[in-house]
Structure formats: C-alpha cells, structure tokens
Amino acid sequence: MRRTTFVRLGVAALLTLGGLTAAGTLPASASPAPVPHTAKASDAPASAGLLSAMQRDFGLTKAQAESRLKAEQAATALAPKARRTAGDAYGGSWFDAATGKLTVAVTGDASAATRGDLRAAGAELRTVRRSARSLDAAKARVDRLKAPAWVSSWRADPKAGAVVVDVVRDRRDDNDVRSFLAAARHTAPVTVRTVSRAAGTLAAGTVGGDPYYTGNVRCSIGFSVYGGFVTAGHCGQPSAAVYGWDHSYVGNFQGSSFPDNDYAWVNVGSGWWTVPVVLGWGTVSDQLVRGSAVAPPGSSICRSGSTSHWHCGTVVALNETVNYSQGAVYQLTHTNVCAEPGDSGGSFISGDQAQGVTSGGWGNCTSGGETWFQPVNEILSRYGLTLHTA
C-alpha cells in the first residue's frame, strides 16, 4: 500500500519518505490543507505504529519496545552532558541495549571525581586508550587520502579505539585497497571490517508511488521545515524545479550540496503545505516529529521511504566518511537499516526525534543491507532553517 486514503485527503500530508539518489514521496496535495492536530506530549515514548515497527524489526514485545525507547531517550539526553563532564578525557559514547544505559568511554587519566559524576548521572564507564578528540583527528588524516572504489567508508570508533575502515570483502587483496590501507595505517590506528558491497546512492527513475520529481529523478522528502522541506543533495541542483506526487509544481531547490555533503532544501508554495509528520505508509501510523535530539550509537532508529516504506534498525556510528563513486561525503551517520532505490532523501527518526535524511547504502530490504544519512541538524544550521515540530 503506497499511500492511505487518509493521507490522500491531506490529514497527514507533507512528510518525509525516503531514500537516496532518488526517492520520492511527498504526500501533500495542491488543495488547502486542514489544520493539523497538534498532539500533546504524553508518557508514551512513541506512537503505537512506531512501537509496532520496533516489535517487528527487533523481535520485541510492546513492553520491551516501550522500555527500550524510554531508555534511549534518557541516553540521548545524557550524552551531551557526559561529554562536558568528561572533558579532555572523553572517549566517545554509545547506547548499550543490553544494559539499557549510555556507555561513556574515558581515558585512563580521567579523575575519580569525573568517573563518580558520570556514574551518578547514570552512565556505564569504559576505559579506553584514545580520546574522542584523538580519534577524530586520526579520522581527519584518513579523510585526506584518496580512497579506491572498493573502500566503502571509514569512521572513528570509540569501541574499537581506532578508525574502522569498511572494505568490500572480495576486494580486500586488491592492490589499490592494500595501498590505501597501508597509507591509512601510517597516519592513524586502523581496524578493517569487510562488507558485501560498496556504498552507493539509491537512485530510481520516475516510477509511480507518491514521488516528488526533479528532471528524471524521483526522491523522497526528509523533514518539513518552515517554508519547505529538507532532502538529499544528490537529488537536485540549486534552482531545479520540483513537482509533487500528483505532478503539480511544488517549488525549487533553494540550496544543495553533493558530494562533500549530501543535503538540500526545497521551498514549498503553490498550495502545498508542511506538517510535522513522517509517513507510515499504512504499515504504521504516521509519526509526529517533536524535535531533533541526536540519538547515540546503539540506539534504535527507523526509516520511512517511498520504495521500501518503514524499516528499523540501530545507529552504528556517527561522523562517518562514505566513499561514493561521485566523491566522498563526510559526517554521515551509519545505520544497519535497509533501503532500496527510490528511498533517497527520506526520513530517519528515533522515537519522535528527527535524525536525518537518507543519503546512500548497499543491499536491499530482502537480503539486508546498511544505510547512511545526513544529520538533519547540520542541514538546519547550514541553511538557517527551523524544523517544523508538533
């Protein structure tokens, strides 16, 4: 089911769906929109639909899904405070689903008082050799290297205490790959992980299913902002015209960056409107957006896309460099959520918090895969936009 009659009538109309190089779906119409209902915050950590998706994709009961989301919300709130508390000794942090707590890595020179403060705040501690600042500097040195096509991505990983480089499994012995790894090891502590395929943007042609179109490309909306929506940069160039699922004129790309970044925003006019909603595609109920607090690694996260609809997984890493054929893109977030061609630009959401817009990935939603997204807060900051929230 691509779109419910409920959405066609416009009640949940403007949301993000999506994918990578081409993804599309903008469930809005060109007629006047009804005033959206603004729900009040409640004790429930998420909508019934999102909880249902969590149960399906994580094999959880409803109570377990609710418990996990509440624990993740607490970890998300604690993460920036923990970084400030640890100071120069901060080594990174991640959500541990087994304990339901935020694990904070600190270097050996962290004082007893600092460790005590972190534990008192509810964090689990792990002692590591390298600080987050040291790992970020190491990754920045690797960023300056030119990577061959069979090197998929790399990231600073606090758990590994190293820069983790993803290499296509059957190309690990390729001479160019070996040369890159040798150069990377010369500049940084490196650990190699193998993957089945290299990352790529998920392009799709102009096919049916609530798309927005620019030229011959179909892409998905990411999140509503006041005055328009954000999406992936590889979907269109500045000033390119955008047409909705019904082929009516929506607006134009006001800004776009790809590669280096993968973000863009489109202004909305001509009878189109924005609401703080992510489309559930009839699989789950539509999800309200209430903010954009960054979910730490290990947190659950779900994606809405016009091709593959709703799928959930976890955040693998923040600030990862992805080596697309068009060029490297920096500071993406890595997830183990699947995606397919036509999902570009769509929304990643954790609970009711917007996380980012789909950039690229490998695999599919039948055999599995991994996906990266451009964090939404960077897009908002870059263009001076305000997220439309409930």
* Residue of 344, 347, 350, 359 marked catalytic: 344
CATH T-level assignment (fold) for domain 1-77+131-390: Thrombin, subunit H (2.40.10)
| Residues 206-245 pLDDT 10s | 322 257 889 888 889 999 999 999 999 999 999 999 998 7
Task: Give catalytic status of residue 344 as yes or no.
Answer: yes
Q: 10 — alpha (psi -120 to 50), left (phi > 0) or beta?
A: left
> Tokens in use for 53?
């998706």
On whether the CB atoms of residues 374 and 261 are closer than 8 A, the answer is yes
Rounded mean pLDDT of the chain? 85
- In sequence order, what are the residues at sequence separation of 6 or more whose Cβ sits closer than 8 angstroms to the Cβ of residue 18? 24, 25, 219, 220, 221, 222, 303, 304, 305, 306, 307, 339, 342, 343, 344, 345, 346, 347, 357, 358
Q: Which two tokens stand for residue 293?
A: 């607090």
Give me the DSSP letters along 69-107: HHHHHHHHHHHHHHHHHHGGGEEEEEEETTTTEEEEEEE
262 is catalytic: yes
- The tens-digit pLDDT sequence of the chain (390 residues) is 334 333 322 322 222 223 333 333 222 222 222 333 333 434 566 777 788 888 988 999 999 999 999 999 999 999 999 999 999 999 999 999 999 999 999 999 999 999 999 999 999 999 999 999 999 999 999 999 999 999 999 999 999 999 999 999 999 999 999 999 999 999 999 999 999 888 887 655 332 225 788 988 888 999 999 999 999 999 999 999 999 878 889 999 999 999 999 999 999 888 888 888 888 877 777 888 999 999 999 999 999 988 899 899 999 999 999 999 999 999 999 999 999 988 999 999 999 999 999 999 999 999 999 999 999 999 999 999 999 998
Q: In this structure, what token pair is assigned to residue 38?
A: 């603004």
- The SS3 of residue 49 is helix
Instruction: Tell me which of 57, 157, 234, 308 is the catalytic residue.
Output: 234
Of 247, 278, 251, 253, nearest to 358 (Cα)? 278
pLDDT digits (tens, 9 = 90+) for 60-114: 999 999 999 999 999 999 999 999 999 999 999 999 999 999 999 999 999 999 9
d(CA 268, CA 289): 19
Q: Which pLDDT does position 287 carry in this prediction?
A: 85
Per-residue pLDDT of 108-118, as tens digits, reads 999 999 999 99
- The catalytic residue among 157, 262, 286, 343 is 262
Residue partners of 238: CB distance under 8 A and separation at least 6: 253, 254, 255, 256
Token code pair at residue 220: 């998905």
Within 13 Å, how many C-alpha atoms sit on residue 262's CB side? Answer: 37
Predicted structure pTM score? 0.79
